[in-house]
Chains A and B, each alone.
Chain A
Amino acid sequence: MRGTTRTVAVAGISAAALLLAGCGGGGDEGGSTDSGAAAKTGGAITVRGCNPENPLIAGNTSETCGGNVLDVITAKLVKYNVDTAAPENDIAESIETSDNQNFTVKLKKDYKFHDGTVVKAKNFVDAWNYTAYGPNAQLGSYFFEPIEGYADLQSEDPDGDGPQKAPTPKAKELTGLKVVDDTTFTIKTTEKVSNLPVRLGYTAFSPQPDAFFADPKAFGDKPIAAGPYKVDSWTKNAEIKLSKFADYSGARKGNLDNITFKIYQDSNAAYADVQANQLDVTDEVPASAQIDDKYKTDLPDRNLQKPVGVIQTITTAPAKVDPNYGPEIRKAISMAINREAIIKAIFNGTREPATGWVSPVVDGYKADVCGEFCKYDPAKAKEQLAKAGGFKGGKITLSYNADASHKEWTEATCNSIKQALGVDCVATPVVDFSTFRTLIHDRKMKGMFRTGWQMDYPSIENFLAPLYGTGASSNDGDFSDPAFDAKLKEAAAATDAAASNKLYQEAEGIIAKDMATIPLWYSTTTMGWSDKVTNVKVTPFGVPDYAGISLK
């Protein structure tokens, strides 16, 4: 997922109104839907950036700073619609399957990399093999897990972090990938994956040119991709300069000639620059400007808010770590949280209370899956607690990482629980994000703790399988339900997208029964821009649609 320390920290700070009604029509830009043709082309702008944590390699970037840049310089097989998040073919001519397990990908012939070489099937297969191969230690490796042969590319260190080296993996190439000819390749997955085409739009699935494999390290400083913009220069800690790629043959070409990412360490400084018209777009409006919607008066008609694929939840420690938070207790706690009041008091009324475990921006979202258990009702909560036999752990704890602004809402949440249930609840700080995650990962964290999830690709599946599947990578509460696992499998096998979504919704219903985690609220993103630019939109990932921006 693309949420690292910074994103997750920011997710807590940047709160904004989630107006589902405004979702389709865009923000304050009102009716301007697909204005690509009418928009003015040419010109240069400066946008807010932050320091990429890793070299700019598509398969090795999991955070937003580098991700935002890669998003606009890479072209993938599919591209997500800016407004609806629906996948549309970009490099792919077609992705076909009859059984959700064997996919045939045909490429359009005229795509070129920034260095002039043609994008061939081989560029995809080589890049994916490289990213998936364990010893290359690429952060995006897990995206290739569904492809046949993935396990043989990994190796476990026999003694954890010890002196022995992990053995070399059995294979170097995924058996599930085969080049047929220059414009065709096939993908075979280990199990049925109904939403594979949706996943293929993520950055980790970008093709890499031959130049990449010669020297991946140097490549990361000046990446070559096939997207609408190319990197001209990257001055560390200062700026990343992009210019329009003239040979990009996709449907959505960039409007501007040059985009410069100016690196900021603080969203307040970027915001000040937008106000002073020294910066054209900031994708983060600081908390101070969100109080009483101040940004709307600071930047009249130059702001936008949109829900993004992020959900905040409370996870309880696995039963073997802390036995006091069983499913029935979780339901009582969930009903004791006054989400509306907390959102109003802490987030200035700018978040949407969660009614389920899936973000409303994705295909397959169903409202109100959580039902009465996500509605504040102190009387029922107390009743539910008594029915569950009362809380036996003495006091409830809610842990958070103290290096981001989580103190206020966790304390408010605890107060709400305390008042409704009559059980003491303490918001417990953990010094910082890395310590916090270590405790959770090592299963040493007791009680409840905050968790957040930013989607990897806009699909309902991404909010379920990685989080609640038995033994799944981000299943922090060790939730396990064979019925849920079976339903996921069934949904992955459904060849019809609607049928598949329906099955995923049923799977969500199963985790609702046991209250796998306590859903809190859905996040949104808020942006502002200078009076020089127009056509600013934001993708469901919360990234500005840079290619669509144009000068007035």
Chain B
Amino acid sequence: MGKYIVRRLLQMIPVVLGATFIIFAMVFALPGDPTAGKCGERPCSPEFVAKFREEHNLNDPLPVQYGKYLGKFVQGDLGTNYYGIPVKDDLAKRYTITGRLALMAIAFEAIIGILAGVLAGVRKGRFIDNLVTVSTLFVISIPVFVIGVLLQYLFGIKWGLFPATVPSLEASTWSLVLPAFVLGSLSIAYVARLTRTNLVENLRADYVRTAAAKGLTKSRAVGVHTLRNSLIPVVTFIGADFGGLLGGAIVTERIFNIQGVGGYIWKGINSRDGVAVVSAVTVLVIVYLLVNLLVDLLYGVLDPRISHD
């Protein structure tokens, strides 16, 4: 087990290096000069451009730029973005808030999604099953910004049950409930459907019949034996989804004014702010890899047949 983890961690190094270089090259391959839009419709003065290019190493060839960046990156210095704000401080704050949001969304997914899936699975073909199937279909078919704006209007503005937006400073967990629910809504539907399908499939398996035959109660047969097996694809989905929620929360973040990672990357790309984009995405890659490792380890817990030795 320990050996397995060490091996996986070592494998991450080339993946991270490769990913950063590709992102770095891609950001710099984008057309448009970073200084072109900085002074409005008026072109920037040559002095401004020269100082700007000098400060951000833009005059070096790409591999040199990358080398300089990497050298600092290894020492934990992520540099400053084009607005002179240290990327590290920015990212720390933004990953904290987006991370909280994503974790809460995952909690919604896991709790509501699995519960609905199990209910629908064990009562296959009955009312609750149809209700879950139809309502999840409904959620999946609506774009997330519609759900977001609608819930914001109803709960935030009309009824005033939740804050309409999230305060930028010291965002309370309470103010994040609504955005997290919106962010997770699509995945709740997927998790419910995934759980239901797997459960229905596994309920027909031989070992479930055996469990019933040896006199186990239904709740134990379903809860312990069937569900554990059925959750493997669900855990895979949730794991992959966590990374996706971190980078992909941009729509939800804009609606609820959360200064998160998605908006940071979007803005960075728009202003050709290579250093900011690469650092933000690199962190994202690392999170993805770690979550993936965690998911792989969870397989072993859920199904002892999958061993990592």
Contacts and interface: CB of A to CB of B under 8 A. Distances in A.
Interface string A444-467: 000000011110000000000010
Given A161-B50, A264-B257, A435 B40 contact: no
Contacts of A435: 31-32, 36
Interface in A294-317: none
Given A166-B46, A266-B257, 14 more contacts: A4-B39, A134-B45, A136-B47, A137-B47, A137-B48, A137-B52, A237-B90, A269-B257, A278-B165, A434-B33, A434-B34, A441-B36, A473-B43, A474-B42
A84 B33 CA distance: 39
A486 interface: no
Interface residues of B, number: 51
B32 A431 contact: yes
Nearest to A265: B263
Interface in B89-132: 89-90, 93-94
Given A157-B46, A272-B165, A3 B153 contact: no
A97 B34 CA distance: 42
B259 interface: yes
Nearest to A162: B59
B37 A276 contact: no
Interface stretch (B155-163, B191-199, B201-209, B218-226): B155-163
B39 A139 contact: yes
Which applies to chain B's interface (DSSP): helix, strand, loop or mixed? Answer: loop
B180 to A, nearest CB: 16
Given A161-B53, A433-B37, A453-B41, A276 B156 contact: yes
B84 interface: yes
Interface residues of A, number: 64
Interface centre among A7, A54, A278, A454 (most CB of B within 10 A): A278
Closest 7 CB pairs of A and B: A435-B32, A238-B168, A269-B257, A434-B37, A434-B32, A276-B164, A137-B51
B74 interface: no
Interface in A139-164: 139, 141-142, 154-157, 161, 163
Contacts of A134: 45, 47
Contact of A236 (B41, B85, B255, B272): B85
Given A265-B259, A431-B31, A435-B36, A473 B42 contact: yes
Contact of B83 (A2, A53, A156, A473): A53
A434 B30 CA distance: 11
Contacts of B263: 265
Interface of A: 1-5, 7-8, 51, 53-55, 62-63, 134-139, 141-142, 154-157, 161, 163, 165-166, 235-239, 262-266, 268-270, 272-273, 275-276, 278, 403, 431-435, 437-438, 441, 451-454, 466, 473-474, 476
Contacts of B165: 264, 269, 272-273, 278
B229 interface: no
Nearest to A270: B257
A165 B59 CA distance: 12
Contacts of B255: 266, 268-269
11 contacts: A2-B40, A4-B40, A137-B51, A142-B45, A264-B257, A265-B254, A265-B259, A266-B254, A269-B254, A272-B157, A438-B31
Contacts of A136: 47
Interface in B1-59: 31-34, 36-53, 59
Contacts of A437: 36-37, 41, 43
Contacts of A141: 45, 47-48
A157 B47 CA distance: 8
A235 to B, nearest CB: 6
Contact of B256 (A1, A62, A269, A441): A269
Given A154-B47, A403-B270, A3 B259 contact: no
Nearest to B255: A269
A63 B263 CA distance: 19
Contacts of A165: 50
A272 B153 contact: yes
B279 interface: no
Contact of A438 (B32, B83, B152): B32
B271 interface: yes
Nearest to A268: B255
Contacts of B153: 272
